[in-house]
């Protein structure tokens, strides 16, 4: 759980910056390189990503002595890297839809780019950020292959435990776990749906009031 939380948060930062750079910065040197590195993790088979990252960590440990132990930090880095690609795609889609004239208006009124980004762009793309975070969180929570490669001998993530017992065959424990997961997800979805409906209804009534007035 903790792994997934931190990885998703970092992935949102990284992915958003990447998406912003790709959609707003026009042309710059290294753009092709960046865009291939943003899109490739989407489809890269997990065994390749996992193996290559493990080899990187091993070499780093030999050269600079860090990470001395594989575990939390290495899983975090690995998950951030592959999740940020998904975030970038979600956020870039939203950034393209956003009306750029409001950003330009803010800048014309003398707001520096950083301030414009935080006070104008960020609130507008907030739903996409939330969606991206949720996506990254589930991806990270669910990942077995990459975590198996880069984790140390002591750290076991939930999918690793599930996998080793599923491999042995049917076990009632896993059935119980599955029931719990499905219950949680259905509950969360129902709640999300309810809130979405309510805010939609509110918006409708505001629009109606506006029309009547």
Partner 1 sequence: MMPSRIAGLIKRMHLGRRAVIAFPLVWLTLFFLLPFALVLKISLSESAIAIPPYGPLLEYADQTLNIFLNLGNYLFLLSDSLYAAAYWGSIKTAFVATVVCLLIGYPMAYAMARAPGRLQLILLLLVMLPSWTSFLIRVYAWMGILSNSGLINNLLMGLGVIDSPLRMMNTQFSVIVGIVYAYLPFMVLPLYAHLTRLDNSLLEAASDLGSRKLNTFLKVTLPLSMGGIIAGSMLVFIPAVGEFVIPELLGGPDTLMIGKVLWEEFFLNRDWPVASALAMVMLLLLLIPLVWFHRYQSRELEE
84 binding partner 1? (CB under 8 A): yes
Percent helix, strand and coil across the chain, each to the nearest 5: 85, 0, 15
Q: Which range touches partner 1 (CB under 8 A), out of 65-73, 97-105, 119-127, 184-192?
A: 184-192
Contacts with 15 (C-beta within 8 Å, 6 or more apart), sequence order: 83, 84, 85, 86, 87, 88, 90, 91, 132, 136
Contacts with 4 (C-beta within 8 Å, 6 or more apart), sequence order: 79, 137, 138, 140, 141
Q: Report d(CA 129, CA 92) in Å as an integer.
A: 10
Q: Which range touches partner 1 (CB under 8 A), out of 1-9, 65-73, 120-128, 141-149?
A: 141-149
Of 34 and 124, CB closest to partner 1: 34
Q: Report d(CA 112, CA 212) in Å as an integer.
A: 40
Among 35, 72, 73, 152, binds partner 1 (CB under 8 A): 35
Task: Output the smallest distance, CB 4 to partner 1, in A.
Answer: 12
| Interface positions, 99-128, toward partner 1 (CB under 8 A) | 113-114
- Please give the C-alpha separations between residue 209 and each of 168, 203, 213, in angstroms, as whole numbers: 62, 10, 6
Among 5, 9, 51, 111, binds partner 1 (CB under 8 A): 51
41 binding partner 1? (CB under 8 A): yes
Task: Please report, as ranges, the residues that interact with partner 1 according to CB under 8 A.
Answer: 14, 17-23, 25, 28, 30, 32-49, 51-53, 55-56, 58-59, 62, 77-78, 80-81, 84, 88-89, 92, 96, 113-114, 138, 141-142, 144-145, 148-149, 159, 162-163, 166-167, 170, 174, 177-178, 181-182, 185, 188-189, 193
């Amino acid at each position: 759980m903790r792994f997934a939380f931190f990885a998703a948060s970092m992935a949102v930062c990284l992915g958003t910056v990447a998406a912003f750079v790709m959609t707003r910065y026009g042309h710059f040197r290294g753009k092709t390189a960046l865009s291939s590195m943003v899109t490739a993790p989407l489809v890269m088979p997990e065994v390749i990503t996992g193996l290559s990252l493990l080899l990187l960590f091993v070499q780093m440990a030999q050269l600079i002595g860090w990470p001395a132990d594989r575990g939390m930090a290495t899983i975090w880095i690995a998950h951030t890297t592959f999740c940020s690609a998904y975030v970038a795609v979600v956020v870039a889609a939203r950034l393209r839809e956003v009306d750029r004239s409001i950003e330009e208006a803010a800048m014309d009124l003398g707001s520096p780019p950083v301030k414009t980004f935080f006070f104008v762009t960020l609130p507008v793309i907030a739903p996409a950020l939330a969606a991206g975070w949720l996506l990254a969180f589930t991806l990270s929570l669910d990942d077995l292959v990459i975590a198996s490669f880069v984790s140390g001998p002591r750290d076991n993530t939930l999918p690793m435990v599930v996998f080793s017992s599923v491999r042995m065959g049917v076990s009632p424990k896993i059935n119980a776990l599955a029931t719990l997961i499905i219950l949680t997800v259905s509950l969360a979805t129902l709640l999300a749906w309810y809130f979405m409906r309510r805010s939609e209804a509110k918006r409708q009534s505001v629009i109606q009031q506006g029309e009547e007035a």
